[in-house]
């Protein structure tokens, strides 16, 4: 079964006037990882889709949705998948790709059949999905966590010591515009993406995981001089417009998956905001 919803783009001037409920309704994705369902959210920022697939009682098929006006989901799209649950597999046009915990898979445009499977229904795979429009078909490729390009950033002194695992990115996988990776914070560190930044050339979605029970992450968004915040729980995602910062601080260390698409594939293309200039 597939469920989908759409989110329209909001201007920064409009967002300044949002109350807590409206802010959450526009940007928070809080219904992912539903058993035996494919859940998709179609964002009008760069036509990006974030979603999930959790096969328990049986396999799940990636079906097209009405906003795409396409006979199959990947007719004009590419797809990135990271498994955040038990072991499972993704079958792409008859070829099976085994995905363990935190393994990734890139699927290029033009693939008509994508099937999600779990190895054990008592510990199902939980596939986190990101998709963007694609103008060229590139080969499907699995990237394990061990194969990711790893960056060590931050320090314990500034509470942002972290490992950035670049997984679906130009130096590892050839894509049209989709980029995905996973950042793991070290014990004792709580800040991600600080100093914060914006990049008007592309939008981004954060998906938070490994948040301990009874803990939470406060995600910061908005223009650098007009910030807002959204409290988030485990396995929730948040949409970040191109004009918005995207940073968070948790009551514990945690992990988050970042995915983005837009004007270019330059990971370092960002306009950094000086911490003391944030408002």
pLDDT (tens digit, 0 to 9) for every residue of the chain, 279 residues total? 899 999 999 999 999 999 999 999 999 999 999 999 999 999 999 999 999 999 999 999 999 999 999 999 999 999 999 999 999 999 999 999 999 999 999 999 999 999 999 999 999 999 999 999 999 999 999 999 999 999 999 999 999 999 999 999 998 999 999 999 999 999 999 999 989 999 999 999 999 999 999 999 999 999 999 999 999 999 999 999 999 999 999 999 999 999 999 988 888 888 999 999 999
Alpha-carbon span 191 to 200, nearest angstrom:
22
- pLDDT digits over 229-267, tens only? 999 999 999 999 999 999 999 999 999 999 999 988 888
- pLDDT digits over 187-206, tens only? 999 999 989 999 999 999 99
For residue 268, the model assigns a pLDDT of: 85
For the chain, domain boundaries = 8-134+141-277
**For 115-178, what is the HEC assignment?**
EEEECCCCCCCCEEEEEEECCCCCCCEEECHHHCEEEEECCCCCCCCEEEEEEECCCCCCCCCC
Which residues are annotated binding-site positions for Zn(2+)? Answer: 197, 199, 204, 246
For residue 68, the model assigns a pLDDT of: 98
Closest among 260, 272, 273 to 201, alpha carbons compared: 260
Please, are residues 209 and 126 in contact by the beta-carbon 8 Å criterion? no
Please, are residues 246 and 273 in contact by the beta-carbon 8 Å criterion? no
For the whole model, what pTM was predicted? Answer: 0.97
Superfamily of domain 8-134+141-277: Jelly Rolls (2.60.120.10)
Which residues are annotated binding-site positions? Answer: 197, 199, 204, 246
93: left (phi over 0), alpha (psi -120 to 50) or beta: left
- DSSP for 50-77, written as a single string: EEEEB-SSS-EE----GGG-SSSTTSSE
For residue 265, the model assigns a pLDDT of: 87
């Amino acid at each position: 079964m597939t469920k989908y919803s759409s989110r329209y783009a909001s201007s920064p001037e409009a967002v300044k006037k949002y109350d807590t409920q409206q802010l959450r309704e526009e940007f928070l994705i809080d219904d992912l990882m539903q058993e035996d369902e494919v859940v998709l959210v179609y964002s009008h920022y760069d036509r990006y889709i974030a979603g999930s697939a959790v096969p328990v009682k049986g396999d799940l098929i990636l079906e097209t949705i009405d906003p795409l006006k396409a006979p199959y989901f990947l007719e004009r799209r590419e797809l990135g998948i990271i498994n955040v649950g038990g072991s499972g597999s993704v079958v792409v046009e008859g070829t099976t790709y085994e995905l363990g915990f935190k393994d990734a898979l890139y699927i290029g445009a033009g693939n008509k059949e994508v099937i999600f499977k779990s190895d054990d229904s008592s510990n199902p795979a939980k596939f986190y999905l990101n998709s963007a429009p694609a103008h060229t078909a590139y080969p499907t490729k699995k990237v394990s966590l061990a194969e990711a390009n790893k960056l060590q950033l931050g320090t314990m002194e500034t509470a942002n010591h972290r490992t950035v695992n670049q997984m679906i990115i130009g130096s590892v996988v050839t894509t049209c515009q989709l980029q995905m990776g996973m950042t793991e914070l070290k014990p004792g560190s709580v800040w991600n993406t600080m100093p914060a930044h914006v990049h008007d050339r592309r939008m981004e979605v954060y998906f938070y995981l490994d948040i301990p029970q009874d803990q939470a992450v406060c995600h910061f968004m908005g223009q650098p001089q007009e910030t807002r915040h959204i409290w988030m729980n485990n396995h929730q995602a948040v949409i970040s417009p191109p004009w918005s910062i995207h940073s968070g601080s948790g009551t514990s260390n945690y992990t988050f998956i970042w995915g983005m698409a837009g004007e270019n594939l330059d990971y370092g293309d960002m306009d950094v905001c000086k911490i003391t200039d944030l408002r």
